[in-house]
Amino acid sequence: MGNPERTRKPGVWLHRYSVFVACCTLLLVIAGGLVTSNDAALSVPDWPLAWGKLIPPLEGGIVYEFGHRVAALAVAILSVILAFWLQKREPRAWVRRLGWIAVGTVLAQAALGGVLVRYLTPKPASIAHACLGQLYFGLMVAICVGQRKATQERIPVLPLMAAIALFAQTILGAAVRHNAAGLLPHIIGAAVATILVMWAGLQVLMTNTEDINLRRPAMVLLSLTFSQIFLGMGAYLSRAMTADAPQPMPAMVWLTVAHVAVGSLAFGAAVSLAMLGTPGGMAVA
Amino acid sequence: MKKIWIGVGVAAILSLVGCGGDKPPETAKTDAAAPAAGGAAAMPDEANGGTVTGKVAFTGDKPKMATMDMSANPACERAHKDAPQKSEEVVVNGNGTLKYAFVWVKAGLPDKNWAVPTTPVTLDQNGCMYKPHMIGIMAGQNIEVKNSDPTNHNIHPQPTVNQEWNESQSPGSEAKMKTFARQEVMIPVKCNVHPWMRSYIGVVGHPFFAVTGDDGTFTIKGLPPGTYTIQVWHEKYKDVPEQQVTVGAKESKTVDFTVKG
Question: Per residue of chain B (261 residues), what is the pLDDT tens digit?
Answer: 455 454 445 444 444 333 333 333 333 333 344 444 446 789 999 899 999 999 999 999 999 999 999 999 999 999 999 999 999 999 999 999 999 999 999 999 998 999 999 999 999 999 999 999 999 999 999 999 999 999 999 999 999 999 999 999 999 999 999 999 999 999 999 999 999 999 999 999 999 999 999 999 999 999 999 999 999 999 999 999 999 999 999 999 999 999 998
- Look at the alpha carbons of A186, A190, A193, A196 in this order and tell me if their dihedral is positive or negative: negative
Q: Do B192 and A100 touch (CB under 8 A)?
A: no
B243 to chain A, minimum CA–CA distance in Å? 28
Residues B196, A246: C-beta atoms closer than 8 Å: yes
| CA distances to A50, A76, B122 from B13, in Å | 21, 15, 43
User: Measured between CB atoms, which of B66, B76, B164 is closest to A246?
Assistant: B66
Q: Does A114 touch chain B (CB under 8 A)?
A: yes
- Whether the CB of A179 is below 8 Å from some CB of chain B: the reply is no
With CA atoms as reference, the chain A residue closest to B11 would be: A104
Distance from C-alpha of A147 to C-alpha of B162, rounded to nearest angstrom: 53
Of residues A9 and A155, more confidently modeled:
A155
| Phi (first) and psi of residue B176, to 5 degrees | -100, 135
- Which of A120, A126, A132, A178 to substitute to test the interface with B, most B CBs within 10 Å? A120
Task: Name residue A107's amino acid.
Answer: L
Report the candidate in A243, A278, A281, A237 with the shortest Cα–Cα distance to residue A259: A237
CB contact under 8 A, B4 and A97: yes
CB–CB of A108 and B15 under 8 A? Answer: yes
Q: How distant, in Å, are the alpha carbons of A128, A140, A250, B218 from that of A105?
A: 12, 11, 31, 57
pLDDT at A151: 61
HSE, CB side, 13 Å, CA atoms: give it for residue B172: 1
One-letter amino acid at A89 equals R
CA distance B156 to B204: 19
Residue type at position B74: P
